[in-house]
Amino acid sequence: MQSVYCPLSLRFCIALACIVLLAAPSMAFTAQSMTITVEKSGDATAVFRYTLEGFIENSIPESVLQDEVVKGLSTSSEPPEVLAFDKSGATLRMKQFATLSDTPTGTEYLTGSINFSKAEDALKQSSLSSMISADFSPQTATVTFPDGYKEEFSNVAVLPSIRHVVIDPTKHGDMMTTTAGTQYGTAMSTAEQTPAVKATPAGAAPVQSFGGDEGFPLVPVILVVIVLIAIAGAGAYYYTVIRKK
């Protein structure tokens, strides 16, 4: 059997190719951003952006990547619904992302927490572990509530749970009316229990009236009585002393 001659240059090229393939960096999965919009029902729409880099970027099956991303970002017993997916990002509908409870002024939302390292571990344990080095921690993460309130985070490994109350104008208005009515009733009750006091000049003792606002002040009544007694005394003196003379 005749052996096949392989030139040195060809052998060198094959060896070099093998070295390149073995030494080539694995595909890198790097999260860029995550934007979560919470709905009134407590469900949320999440837009997750990422980049895939490396020598074998186009060799990863998109369906496999989608399964691992969805598994890693799940926050409840019901897995996220995939609305859109490609190798640059995913749009997911996350069921029951926030728990709702009534408050005197509105509705309190308590969002779920997302551990991005969980997604990294899921990817590492998959069949892609030898091909991909993953960083699921987004450079920016934003959570927006139904009233427009938002919180932003930078390069976090865990997106924390957020508590926020969305004010209901109807409840808030009723509460303000009730509070005002209570304060008015308290003020009226205090006024009814406090004797009426007439205004007096500065530095003078206040004169208390009797019989309500329509009663007579005490001091003027005493003065009138004194005057009448004086007049009566003067008349009696006139008739008993002066007329007899």
Check whether 94 has a pLDDT greater than 80.
Answer: yes
Check whether 188 has a pLDDT greater than 50.
Answer: yes
Asked whether residue 201 falls in the same domain as residue 101, the answer is no
Whether this prediction's pTM lies above 0.75 is answered by no
149-173 average pLDDT score: 91
85-94 average pLDDT score: 92
Check whether 24 has a pLDDT greater than 80.
Answer: no
CA-CA distance, 158 to 68, in Å (whole number)? Answer: 18
Per-residue pLDDT band for 134 (boundaries 50, 70, 90) equals confident
137-143 average pLDDT score: 94
Asked whether residue 91 falls in the same domain as residue 198, the answer is no
8-27 average pLDDT score: 49
Q: Structurally, how many domains does the chain consist of? A: 2
- Closest by Cα among 62, 51, 64 to 128: 64
Asked whether residue 86 falls in the same domain as residue 148, the answer is yes
Residue 19 lies in a domain: no
H or E segment and range at residue 111: strand 106-111
Residue 145 pLDDT: 98
Q: Which residue has the higher pLDDT, 211 or 240?
A: 240
Residue 86 lies in a domain: yes
Residue 105 pLDDT: 93
3-state helix, strand, coil split of the chain in percent (to 5) is 35, 30, 35
Asked whether residue 79 falls in the same domain as residue 159, the answer is yes
54-83 average pLDDT score: 75
Residue 7 lies in a domain: no
CA-CA distance, 44 to 231, in Å (whole number)? Answer: 95
Residue 89 lies in a domain: yes
Residue 103 pLDDT: 94
Please say which residue of 117, 135, 170 terminates a domain.
170
Residue 11 lies in a domain: no
What proportion of the chain, given as a percentage, has pLDDT over 90? 31
DSSP 196: P
Check whether 123 has a pLDDT greater than 50.
Answer: yes
Per-residue pLDDT band for 230 (boundaries 50, 70, 90) equals confident
Cβ count near 162 (within 10 Å): 19
Residue with tokens 């139904």: 146
Residue 184 lies in a domain: no
Residue 140 lies in a domain: yes
Cβ(140)–Cβ(194) under 8 Å? no
Asked whether residue 132 falls in the same domain as residue 201, the answer is no
Check whether 224 has a pLDDT greater than 50.
Answer: yes
Please say which residue of 138, 170, 202 terminates a domain.
170
Asked whether residue 133 falls in the same domain as residue 239, the answer is no
Domain that holds residue 150: 25-170
Asked whether residue 154 falls in the same domain as residue 227, the answer is no
Mean pLDDT of the chain: 74
Residue 42 pLDDT: 95
Q: Which residues contact 48 (CB under 8 A, 6 or more apart)?
A: 31, 33, 34, 69, 73, 89, 90, 91, 92, 138
Tokens of residue 203, six digits: 């530095």
Check whether 109 has a pLDDT greater than 60.
Answer: yes
| Highest mean predicted confidence (pLDDT) among 4-13, 27-36, 155-164 | 155-164
Residue 133 pLDDT: 72
Residue 21 pLDDT: 43
